[in-house]
């Protein structure tokens, strides 16, 4: 894994890590908000608001994770995989959780 990442210059790798923190973190926070909006036991508007209220804590943790000493691909994967799963679950559950 080290050999793969080191083919890029340090500046590029830093850029990638900052992008992971800023955009990957935002994607994860948004996905978590979507998931919470679908599962929180409240009407759709309240649940959406509740999801938003938690999302900034998740964003913070995501940025901290992006600057953990793990390889770049793992940093990205650790953000995007849960984001995809949470967003997918949120979309799938929308009818059941919020639409009632």
Binding residues (CB under 8 A) for other proteins: these are 9-11, 14, 17, 29-31, 33-34, 36-38, 40, 42-53, 55-57, 59-61, 63-64, 67-69, 90-91, 94, 98-99
Closer to other proteins by CB, 5 or 81: give it: 5
Q: Calculate the CA 81 to chain-centre distance.
A: 8
**Minimum Å distance from CB 17 to other proteins?**
6
Give the separation between CA 47 and CA 3, rounded to whole angstroms.
Answer: 45
C-alpha distance across the termini of the chain, in Å: 48
Give the separation between CA 34 and CA 28, rounded to whole angstroms.
Answer: 10
Closer to other proteins by CB, 56 or 81: give it: 56
Evaluate whether 27 touches 80 at the Cβ level (below 8 Å).
yes
Residue among 32, 42, 34 at smallest CA distance from 81: 32
Closer to other proteins by CB, 2 or 81: give it: 2
**Minimum Å distance from CB 27 to other proteins?**
9
**Minimum Å distance from CB 80 to other proteins?**
15
């Amino acid at each position: 894994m080290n050999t793969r990442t080191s083919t890029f210059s340090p500046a590029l790798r830093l850029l990638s890590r900052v992008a992971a923190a800023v955009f990957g973190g935002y994607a994860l926070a948004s996905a978590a908000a979507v998931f919470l909006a679908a599962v929180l036991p409240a009407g759709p508007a309240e649940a959406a608001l509740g999801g938003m209220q938690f999302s900034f804590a998740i964003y913070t943790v995501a940025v901290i994770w992006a600057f953990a000493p793990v390889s770049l691909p793992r940093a990205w994967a650790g953000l995007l995989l849960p984001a995809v799963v949470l967003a997918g679950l949120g979309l799938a559950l929308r009818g059941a959780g919020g639409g009632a």
